[in-house]
A and B are shown apart, each in its own frame.
Chain A
Amino acid sequence: MGKFREQIEKGFVTTIEIAPPKGAEVAIPLEIAKKISGRVAGVNVTDNQRAMMHMSALVFSHLMTEVGAEPICQMACRDRNRLALQSDLLGAMALGVENLCIMTGDYPTLGDNPQSKPVFDLDAPQLINAAHMFSQGTAFNGKPLKGCKDFYIGAVFNPFYNPIELEIFKAEKKIAAGARFFQTQPFFDMASLDAFLELVKDVDAKFLVGVTPLKSVKMIDFLNNSVLTTPIPEEVSARIANAEKPELEGMKMSAEFVNAVRDKVDGVHIMPVGQLESIPLLLDMIEEGKKR
């Protein structure tokens, strides 16, 4: 059993997202991953996130294992059909990549190769089902597979989806298909989190709630207009707007949030947007706050 699964079974965990590079230079992200490997339970390796071309998530997950980090390899349904996805599931097993976070993926027109063919042969619940079948030594067509290892499978959850009942139905399907944990979109206030936890109290899976350090008023405007259903509360925006160093203030707020939710949730999933090199400092701030 890998470190991530072991730790999440025991208690509160922190996972963090590191994107593979947009080029073949891997030294900097790997150095960060190595530096923080003892301080987080797992590192999500994104799969062409926001439909932007990056290095293969599976290859970069493997490189992470070589520096001692515990990857949670994201797999999106956007770019590969069921043949290619199954090949990558076998590849993940061979490379010792145990944790998967499976999602449908953003549509190509939103990314940097808008003319590419959208595949979506399977959707996320179906790919979760396929990965779960592989764990049990069966290919998607029902034929036996030799030498299979157990995956620890997760998925994503949008707590701001309306109607939320529909998102819960889908989460239940993902659990039935084999998902054991969910990573959510970011929360920016406790009231939204509390309301969400009440809604999913009967959902039988681990929830790692999303945390994204805010960097600027511009970023808040973007999130409010294009991503979030519930706008970021005024008092949160005001702290960023009035801060001398907004990026530092955003990290401080994230650290406060993480320490305030320790007793409420199974873990947090930190998604620093364009702040790769600030990750160690953010973890320092979280640990500092925890001591108080």
Chain B
Amino acid sequence: MIITKQKGIDEIFSALRGAKSVFIVGCGDCAALCRTGGRSEIEKMTEILKSHDVLVTGSALPHSTCHELDVQRILRANKEAVEKSDAILVLACGAGTQAVGDSIKKPAVSGCDSLFIGNSKRQMHFYEKCSVCGDCVLNETGGLCPETRCPKGMQNGPCGGAVRGNCEVDHARPCVWIEIYDRLKEFGRLDDLKKLVKPKNRKVATKPHRIEKE
């Protein structure tokens, strides 16, 4: 899922640029799980806006706010409240905010910062394990991604900077290359680490990505 963090209220007010009335859109999927854009966060944001004399004309919680047709349908269903608003405040990831902005001729204000694609182990604990690089090496690295789990994206083994087995960039986290080594050792595949890995093909990561299958 996309992990988000709600922006500070001052930043949100600054982005609303003096709007007197606001319609709020959350996201029932990732942002709800991150507690940045679910039902409860929409209610809290409504109270905050009201206490600052901003009229909240209404709110909506699409199942997934990155689903653009779904967003368009929900905005149509709330047409009156949406039209009364000066701006739409979106409590979702950047994709959700743009889905709203591309669906309506009103400013869609982003209420969250999108951080990473995260796995969740338990509530509100998120871990980045894949950075959608388009050139997956998991089959060569024992199923652990060095592009994502090593800050330097080392392809040919550790940078050598680990201190007592932990990453030089974040001492609270193990060096993923030691984890890769341990796993490949367990699988009897240490020879895989002796091959010179060619540089990644960054061309496949050219943005913005687009797939249009008939």
Contacts and interface: CB of A to CB of B under 8 A. Distances in A.
B157 A82 contact: no
Interface in A160-205: 161-163, 165-167, 169-170, 172-173, 176-177
With a 10 A CB-CB cut-off, give which of A123, A129, A170, A226 has the most chain B CB atoms.
Answer: A123
A121 interface: yes
Given A107-B168, A109-B169, A169-B194, A121 B199 contact: yes
Contacts, number: 88
B160 A107 contact: no
A253 to B, nearest CB: 24
Given A169-B193, A176-B196, A177-B196, A120 B153 contact: yes
Which of A105, A162, A170 is packed against the most chain B CB atoms within 10 Å? A170
Given A106-B168, A110-B168, A226-B163, A170 B157 contact: yes
A157 B160 contact: yes
B159 interface: yes
Contacts of A123: 152-156, 159
A126 to B, nearest CB: 5
B158 to A, nearest CB: 6
A124 interface: yes
A96 interface: no
| Interface residue tally on A, bucketed by range | 35 or more
A89 to B, nearest CB: 15
B161 A162 contact: no
A166 B175 CA distance: 12
Given A107-B168, A166-B181, A172-B194, A122 B157 contact: no
- Give 8 closest A-B pairs by Cβ, nearest first: A158-B160, A170-B157, A125-B156, A104-B159, A107-B169, A120-B152, A166-B181, A169-B193
Nearest to A173: B196
Interface size class of B (residues with CB under 8 A): 20 to 34
Contact of B199 (A126, A172, A227): A126
B162 A163 contact: no
A163 B156 contact: no
15 contacts: A104-B159, A107-B152, A107-B161, A120-B153, A120-B154, A121-B202, A123-B154, A123-B155, A123-B156, A125-B156, A129-B196, A156-B160, A158-B160, A167-B158, A169-B157
Contacts of B155: 123, 126
Nearest to A129: B196
Given A125-B197, A166-B157, A170-B160, 4 more contacts: A121-B199, A167-B158, A169-B190, A177-B196
A165 B181 CA distance: 9
Contacts of B160: 104, 156-158, 161, 167, 170
Given A107-B168, A172-B194, A166 B158 contact: yes
A229 interface: yes
B151 A173 contact: no
Contacts of B162: 161
Nearest to A167: B160
A157 B151 CA distance: 19
B178 interface: yes
Interface string B140-174: 00000000000111111111111111001100000
Contacts of A129: 196
A110 B162 CA distance: 13
B23 interface: no
A170 B181 contact: no
